[in-house]
Structure 1
Amino acid sequence: MPVILITVRNDIKKLIRQTKKKHLKILDVGGRKSPYTINLNADITLQDIPQESETQEQLNLGFTSDILTSIQKKRSNINAIIIEDMTQSTIEDRSYDAVVSVEVIEHVVEDDLFVKNISRAIKKGGWAYFTTPNGDFIKNEGPNKNPDHVRHYTKEGLKTLLEQYFEKVEVKYAIKTGKYRVQGLRSFSLREPIHTLKSIFSNIINRFQSRGVKSTSVETAHLIAICYK
């Protein structure tokens, strides 16, 4: 599996254990078919916007009726699905023990309102988990610009935003970038065994490369933020 997936799932499992509650209610914001919350010992609510634009379709963003049908058949821990924009959230205050938002906030124009509504949905003593591209190293500009990314955050910029709505915020760098990370992101296919083996090998190498990089701003692909209410 890609190292970001392994890292996120391990982090979330650790947070669930630390919460010391039998069965958490977790809101997965921008979750879509999110592999990050599959098989977690928690009741998961998936929240995402409807897939309406051509760009969203190309980038596999948002919900469609086909995706909803597939999710409901395959995911046993899905408690509910909410189709709405988090910046216009109708979720009641303090409805969830935790919120997970993986590679979403960089897509949001009104990021302040986005974070405010996430914080509002979390119970006292709960937590939020965010990931986003590392803007200290990866600039969203030039020929490789992602058309659906509004901004890439620096570590300090992200921390400053989140501290407006959470009592405690920890932000770290994650995942060594380079050829092994890129190769490891390729999907697996039995029809392409050589490419699949290269992806597996690359993920093994990248996992070792990514150890001890939480304070390294250069050549790291992601920022991870853990926030507490």
Structure 2
Amino acid sequence: MVAFARSEPRRPRILDVGGRRSHYTIGVPADIVLTDLPRQSEVQHRLDLGVTDGMFQRTLARRSNVVEALYDDMTCSRLESASFDAVVAVEVLEHVKEDDRFVSEVYRVLRPGGRFVMTTPNGDALRTVSGDHVRHYTREGLYRTLAGHFECVQVAYAIRGGRLRRLGLQPWSLAHPARTLLSMGANLVAAIQPAQAATTNDARGTRNLIAVARKL
């Protein structure tokens, strides 16, 4: 996302769906809008799903590139059409019952030329569905879901990042400086590696799918 943002002629506007837990837009030179569902049930609390006002406020306080954080359901979004240069959804779609409506709304809010970047567990490798997941996508199945709306779709297996990937996903906090430095370092290494090194056409040893869909 950093490379994408820097390639844009103006500062891009990026929507991070379910972004309260996403670290993939941290440090991206863009105006980030975070959306998530409100935490209303005990099940959501137990599974750490959804957000509260306090969570949003803490995110706004610690991230300078987040310009707005709001409650929104991407299957019936209230966001303006053609208002974002990119949409990011990290490990979100597998939780959504109405996935076709979700993808349709992502397409609607993107500007022409905009990109939808997403990850999801690799259904070609996983044989059981987690309790809070509606489904798992195979590479072919995810391609079909996205191609039903987008003109240009690429889906690949994301190479297991091992320890570096896990460190990079750790939350940043002044209360835990050592962990924060390790997380920042891991993300820096990932950022300077060639993009081709992060994906493969071989499902073996992979845990996730990564997709990029473009609106023409």
Q: What TM bracket, shorter-length normalisation?
A: 0.7 to 0.9
2:158 corresponds to which of 174, 187, 191: 174
* Contact 1:91 1:121 survives alignment (8 Å): yes
* Contact 1:26 1:96 survives alignment (8 Å): yes
- Matching residue's letter, 1:225: A
* Contact 2:39 2:51 survives alignment (8 Å): yes
How many matched pairs? 201
Q: TM-score, normalised by structure 1?
A: 0.77
Q: TM-score, normalised by structure 2?
A: 0.82
* Contact 2:38 2:50 survives alignment (8 Å): yes
2:124 corresponds to which of 123, 130, 136: 136
Q: In the TM superposition, what is the alpha-carbon distance from 1:65 to its structure 2 partner?
A: 1.9
1:110-129 paired onto structure 2 within 5 Å: 110-129=98-117
Q: 1:45 to 1:53 in 2, by over 3 A?
A: same
C-alpha distance in 1 between matches for 2:198 and 2:54: 40
Q: In the TM superposition, what is the alpha-carbon distance from 1:32 to its structure 2 partner?
A: 1.3
* Contact 1:176 1:213 survives alignment (8 Å): no
1:36-185 paired onto structure 2 within 5 Å: 36-141=24-129, 146-176=130-160, 180=162, 184=166
- Matching residue's letter, 1:89: S
* Contact 1:140 1:151 survives alignment (8 Å): no
Q: Give RMSD over aligned pairs.
A: 2.9
Q: In the TM superposition, what is the alpha-carbon distance from 1:131 to its structure 2 partner?
A: 0.4
Moved over 6 A (4+): 188-191
- The gaps in structure 1 that reach 5 residues or longer are 1-11
C-alpha distance in 2 between matches for 1:187 and 1:160: 32
Q: 1:133 to 1:181 in 2, by over 3 A?
A: farther
Q: In the TM superposition, what is the alpha-carbon distance from 1:213 to its structure 2 partner?
A: 4.9
Other structure's SS at 1:37 match: coil
Moved more, 110-119 or 72-81: 72-81
- Matching residue's letter, 2:156: K
* Contact 1:134 1:155 survives alignment (8 Å): yes
